[in-house]
């Protein structure tokens, strides 16, 4: 589900979960567990297997599982994103293909984002569901004023478009992506680990404060909307449109 490899003290985590690394309860639960298992690594590189980094939430599981599944899924989503965002060591995303919706947020939760090809963007509103607080604030931290257009427009960005708003820091040829990500991770390790962790903590303070303030009121509304019967119907129609039915 998440493969791990060591490259001179840098942990490479590869999402390997179905054809497009869709985010379901099991994969999200594995994220904090895997980060804990590589806590002693100098840095982390996160990438995907196959043609996608991650195509986002497994919406079919949301529809099939109904409210009981959603009630477990949404907290797991927030916990996974927070674990990646708050990891004290350098974290570099090697975006090897499409990074959509939750996959885009996974990349945004990393300190540095390299991308080789594919598209990246937020499709939640197009699918008919709102953002939980944690993913929204992580995206706000990553792209600032560009977030409005990303959320409300629900479009896909090319690597060059993503670079123009700071969502992607470097565009790399596919064959060189992992090597470039390891190089960037190694460069970030030049700072003493405690200094890097403290600096990251300072930079993330506004996002964490917004999360703490908004979650008690917003996340129950998000759960209600994701669990609604109307949402299930919208998601079925959205999935059918993706299949071309």
CA distance 27 to 80: 9
What tokens does 160 get? 């060059």
Distances (CA, A) of 109 to 71, 139, 224, 231, 243: 23, 8, 25, 27, 29
In the annotation, is 124 catalytic? yes
**Coil, strand or helix: which one is 52?**
strand
Give yes or no for a contact between 59 and 126, defined as CB atoms under 8 angstroms apart. Answer: no
Q: Which of 3, 26, 71, 124 is catalytic?
A: 124
237 vs 245: CA distance, rounded Å: 9
Give me the phi and psi of 109, to 5 degrees please: -75, -10
Give the pairing of strands 120-121 and 170-171.
unpaired
Instruction: Catalogue the active-site residues.
Output: 124
């Amino acid at each position: 589900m998440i493969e791990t490899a060591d490259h001179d003290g840098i942990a490479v985590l590869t999402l390997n979960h179905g054809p497009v690394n869709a985010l379901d309860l099991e994969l999200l639960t594995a994220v904090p567990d895997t980060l804990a298992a590589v806590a002693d690594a100098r840095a982390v590189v996160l990438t995907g297997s196959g043609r996608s980094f991650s195509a986002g939430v497994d919406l079919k599981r949301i529809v099939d599982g109904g409210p009981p599944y959603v009630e477990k899924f949404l907290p797991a989503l927030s916990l996974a994103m927070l674990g990646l965002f708050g990891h004290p060591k350098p974290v570099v995303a090697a975006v090897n293909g499409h990074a959509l919706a939750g996959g885009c947020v996974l990349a945004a939760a990393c300190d540095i984002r390299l991308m080789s090809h594919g598209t990246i963007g937020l499709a939640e509103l197009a699918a008919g569901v709102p953002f939980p607080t944690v993913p929204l604030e992580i995206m706000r931290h990553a792209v600032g004023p560009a977030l409005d257009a990303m959320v409300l427009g629900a479009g896909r960005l090319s690597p060059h478009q993503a670079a123009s708003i700071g969502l992607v820091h470097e565009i790399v040829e596919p064959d060189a992506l992992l090597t470039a990500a390891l190089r960037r991770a190694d460069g970030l390790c030049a700072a003493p680990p405690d200094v890097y962790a403290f600096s990251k903590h300072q930079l993330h303070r506004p996002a964490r404060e917004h999360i703490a303030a908004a979650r008690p009121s917003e996340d129950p509304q998000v759960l209600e909307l994701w669990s609604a019967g109307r949402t299930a119907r919208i998601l079925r129609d959205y999935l059918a449109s993706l299949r071309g039915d």
